[in-house]
A and B are shown apart, each in its own frame.
Chain A
């Protein structure tokens, strides 16, 4: 189990990919609001493993993982909303008291405002400003058009500015 694609010598093994992407996918799920980020990443890799033998292009594995994590995080946050434990209702982050004490005030404000954005706006901002994905990469990951990515990014940034302006001590 966990072998490279047959005949594809030089391709990373499943274990290589796990080492390379597991932490990143866990963080992505966390940033998208999943309360069980590590479980989401684990299940994304299980799904990848189930499709491992049929994958022909290992360079697309990262994209496949990202899309899976985004979709699973959506399901998770939807479920949390149903059981009245929306991510917005819990603290905006899981930082320890010590870290929280020294956390930058602006960052804390931003985290709070990020939690108030719509799901798609939050996804677009995370993929663009944390993963540094291009418009095309974000479009492929979310299954939407590049034009929608640009418009969503614009509206998300507008909302950020608006919310930060509303916060005491915020921008403007």
Chain B
């Protein structure tokens, strides 16, 4: 380093040292700004987007009208499950040993997501809850977000219940958990675009039923499923 470079570095350090922000006040201000509604930005973004959408829709419609449409690829069967409903932990009577699904970090604490079955108003349901990492899954444990725990009524198909992770829910966005019958060894999920989640092996068990955890695209939950897919035989090609 030359003498000039050394002096330059010293000068910059000295000039930078003159700036001493108050971190506590800055953090409070940052939180205030994060809550600020992005109204102007939304307007700026939405107006041109809407125009582009109108044009694209017109083009698409014109194209569709002039060409016989190809049948959409619909792999597997439709996934029809009951809607998850938030239930206070005090209303749940746990009916199985909880299965730990994943750990994730909140603003100040680490959390663990659990799946379990519980009796809710007389019927057995599939539930997911997130409590601080290391804490017991009990009615007095703090719950993550506004939706924890959530419970889903059990259905009659091979995939009996499921829950797709969300921002304020007990499972992080980008993950989903499903409860399937004992006959299901491998589970594949497809979103509305036909995009495939990886084939998933059982993650754990709740009684005789099996728990599957899979990665999903945030905002594009699985809508179809396939169980025990037969691998393609290379010799048949």
Contacts and interface: CB of A to CB of B under 8 A. Distances in A.
Interface of A: 1-11, 13-15, 18-19, 22-23, 26-28, 30-31, 37-38, 41-43, 45-46, 49-50, 53, 93-95, 99, 103-104, 106-107, 110-111, 114, 125-126, 129-130, 157, 160-161, 164, 171
B27 A15 contact: yes
Contacts, number: 132
A92 to B, nearest CB: 8
Given A19-B23, A22-B26, A26-B19, A8 B10 contact: no
Contact of B10 (A3, A14, A107): A107
Interface of B: 4-5, 7-21, 23, 26-27, 29-31, 33-34, 36, 38, 102-108, 110, 165, 167, 172-175, 218
Given A93-B15, A107-B10, A107-B14, A4 B104 contact: yes
A106 B7 contact: yes
Nearest to A24: B16
Interface centre among B31, B105, B172, B174 (most CB of A within 10 A): B105
A106 B7 CA distance: 8
Contact of B14 (A28, A50, A103): A103
A46 B33 contact: yes
B173 A31 contact: no
Given A6-B174, A10-B105, A27-B16, 12 more contacts: A2-B107, A3-B104, A4-B104, A6-B175, A13-B107, A41-B26, A99-B18, A107-B7, A107-B14, A125-B12, A129-B8, A130-B16
Given A15-B27, A38-B26, A46-B34, A7 B19 contact: no
A161 B2 CA distance: 12
A125 B10 CA distance: 12
B7 A22 contact: no
A41 B27 CA distance: 11
A62 B187 CA distance: 39
B175 A22 contact: no
B21 A7 contact: no
A1 B31 CA distance: 9
B33 A7 contact: no
Contacts of B4: 157, 160-161, 164, 171
